[in-house]
Structure 1
Amino acid sequence: MKNKNRCDNVKVICVARNNLILLFVAVLLFILASFCKPVFLLDQNQILYLFSASAQVLAAVYGLVLTAFSFVQGSIEKRGAKDPDLEGIWDRMNQKCFKMLIYISIMTFLSIVLCMITMSSYDERNICKFFANVSIVFTVNDLYLIIKFVIRFANPKWEDTIRGEVIKEFGGNDVKSVGSGNDNSVQLFLAYFQKIERALGKASAPFINYNRYSRSRFVSKKEMLMILLKNGYFKNDNIVPKILDLIPFRNSLVHSSIEQGVPDEMMRLVKEVLENLKEALKETKELRGFDWDVKLG
């Protein structure tokens, strides 16, 4: 669903906007304090040493974070390829992580540039004073973003956090969107999803070369979808992104503690996908006699 990707982008933009607002306020306060009542007075040597060291530290820390991110990303992809319950969740986590990394990269670049401008303008007292205060605020802010980024993924319970975010993203914490009774029960949602999963497995089975897959690796639902799409089974292109949205929600749901039920939007979506899948695969030989009815118990 395009709305979910748009929602992700809006959240990242909101976080960046809030950070920039705080950054602007801090810069303004520091500049006013430096001209009205300065706390520290630095000479030429101190300015050169302090901001040269700051630029080097930022570059070194950013390099370490970038290296760690590449290792973590590779580990996540390997783990996600082996565990069906992680399918789709790590894709979303990687997207959010990458967007945050882009923002950190921009702030690190600006911080280093400001440090260099401060060092090159030490002869001009007022200009140097201005850029020195701006540079200090940007440097501290950049270190804060990096620390926040590292702590997020160093947390032993970060997997649970990611699953919770996926459920919340689809309205899982919105009590008003949750139906009552059995109409929106978790069991009913999982029953619908299981039908979708079985239908995809049966339809894609003739096209899968199982010799390519080791016993430790499952054939993901995303791979099944791509195989069926490649072989011209889905004339309606909307069905693929809808199923790709259901996968991480389902995998997060089975490890969560939601008791109220499933959000109306997701229950409607899983029913809609099953109907669309039934229509798209009705001529498939492997699904002749397939029971499309969903029953509990």
Structure 2
Amino acid sequence: MTENQILYIYSSLAQVIGALLGLTIAGYSVIDSKIQSIGATDDTITEYTESLRSDCFHSLIYIIIFSVIDIIFCLITLAIYNEDNAFFLLLPFFLTEAILLFLLIMTEVIKFALYLNPTSIKEKSMKEKYIIDNEYSSNKENKNSFSSFITYYNLLEELLKQYACELTCSPQSMHNLHIFDALNILQQNQIINGRAYYLINDLRRYRNALVHSPDIDKSVNTVIYNELKDIYTLIHDIYMFKDNNDIKLQKINKLYDYTNRNHNNELDQRLLSYLKKHPSASLSELSKTFNYTKSGILKKLKLLQESGLIQQQESNGRRKWYVNDTNS
């Protein structure tokens, strides 16, 4: 290329990247608020909208970093394009890297645009359902109906909210109570333990993934369905005898025994057992051991931590995970 061609191409390239970066940031600000508002109006997809927002944000960060570096490389190219310049020998490097970075920017822009696919939330819910299904062993030919599962789940959620409201507030505010608030209230009053909290949260995740999944087959994993029925029955028994402390305590102990003996989620049990023996295990080690992605393992650890089943501590600059007593 001639001198004029190089100067024209790289000056134009810097301007194009700058304009593209500005448009992407402007578009992100509008898109992010829109996705956030969608999640706020429907709490059953909040997890998916937050995940989508995180994906868009990380893609934007990559675009910003690559764009800034590429613009700097273009400016350096224009500045040293002179044989008398002491840095002229570095010109081929900056010429090549500027083009490669531009290709990376375009790749990230395409990824950013793909995140805005109208079916992104449904695809995330389908992936979530697939992951949870694989965590529970079940006969693939023995499935339960979608309507029965949703009926039982709605009964469980209504029972949890009603019981929580009776413990702390007026029944009139039951429909305004979030399920996590209800679970926290019940756990604080020792109606449920950390293990029950986690199992119910798993059922909530499965229900949301099932409802929003685009998969035509809405059949339900038998093991998860039976677990839902068992937990609902046990908590319903506690509620029915809430005014009789002796019987209520027996029913609560029965729930604790059930949740502590429940080994349906094979990944959870294997992960907890492994952490008992290897509290200092890194994400890379856990990912390799359980054949899971680092992000998947990290998400699972956060869920276990939020449910009070494990605790995270820092020791000598290393993260350690300690498994709590499941009776608490």
Return the TM-score normalized by structure 1. Answer: 0.60
Letter in 2 for 1:127: L
1:57 to 16, 37, 54: 16
2:263 counterpart residue number:
none
1:139 is aligned to 2:102: yes
Give the match's secondary structure for 2:94: helix
1:73 to 26, 29, 32: 32
Q: Distance in 2 between matches of 1:199 and 1:176?
A: 25
2:127 counterpart residue number:
165
Q: Is the CA contact 2:162–2:171 (under 8 Å) kept in the aligned structure 1?
A: no
Greater strand fraction, Structure 1 or Structure 2: 2
1:179 is aligned to 2:142: no
Residue 189 (structure 1) shift: 4.5
Give identity over the alignment, percent: 25
Residue 134 (structure 1) shift: 1.4
Q: Is the CA contact 1:58–1:143 (under 8 Å) kept in the aligned structure 2?
A: no
1:220 is aligned to 2:178: yes
- May I ask how many residue pairs the two structures share in their alignment? 242
Render the CA deviation track for 1:146-165: whole Å, top value 9, x for unaligned.
12312430x34334333323
Q: Which runs of 5+ in 2 are unaligned?
A: 256-328
1:258 to 196, 199, 217: 217
Distance change in 2, residues 1:199/1:52 (3 Å): farther
2:275 counterpart residue number:
none
Q: Is the CA contact 1:82–1:218 (under 8 Å) kept in the aligned structure 2?
A: no
Render the CA deviation track for 1:100-146: whole Å, top value 9, x for unaligned.
33333333333333323333332345421221111101112212211
Residue 197 (structure 1) shift: 1.3
Q: Is the CA contact 1:48–1:119 (under 8 Å) kept in the aligned structure 2?
A: yes
Return the TM-score normalized by structure 2. Answer: 0.55
Q: Distance in 1 between matches of 2:75 and 2:17?
A: 12
Q: Is the CA contact 2:156–2:232 (under 8 Å) kept in the aligned structure 1?
A: yes
Q: Is the CA contact 2:186–2:192 (under 8 Å) kept in the aligned structure 1?
A: no
2:154 counterpart residue number:
194
Distance change in 2, residues 1:64/1:122 (3 Å): same
Q: Distance in 2 between matches of 1:54 and 1:270?
A: 58
Distance change in 2, residues 1:140/1:251 (3 Å): same
Distance change in 2, residues 1:208/1:176 (3 Å): closer
1:113 counterpart residue number:
72
Q: Distance in 2 between matches of 1:263 and 1:109?
A: 52
Distance change in 2, residues 1:148/1:181 (3 Å): closer
Q: Is the CA contact 1:196–1:274 (under 8 Å) kept in the aligned structure 2?
A: yes
Distance change in 2, residues 1:162/1:183 (3 Å): closer
2:204 to 247, 251, 271: 247
Q: Distance in 1 between matches of 2:173 and 2:155?
A: 26
1:99 is aligned to 2:51: no
Which one scores higher on RCO, CA 8 angstroms, separation ≥ 6? Answer: 1
Give the match's secondary structure for 1:60: helix
Q: Distance in 2 between matches of 1:104 and 1:271?
A: 48
Q: Distance in 2 between matches of 1:117 and 1:263?
A: 63
1:13 counterpart residue number:
none
Q: Distance in 1 between matches of 2:29 and 2:170?
A: 30
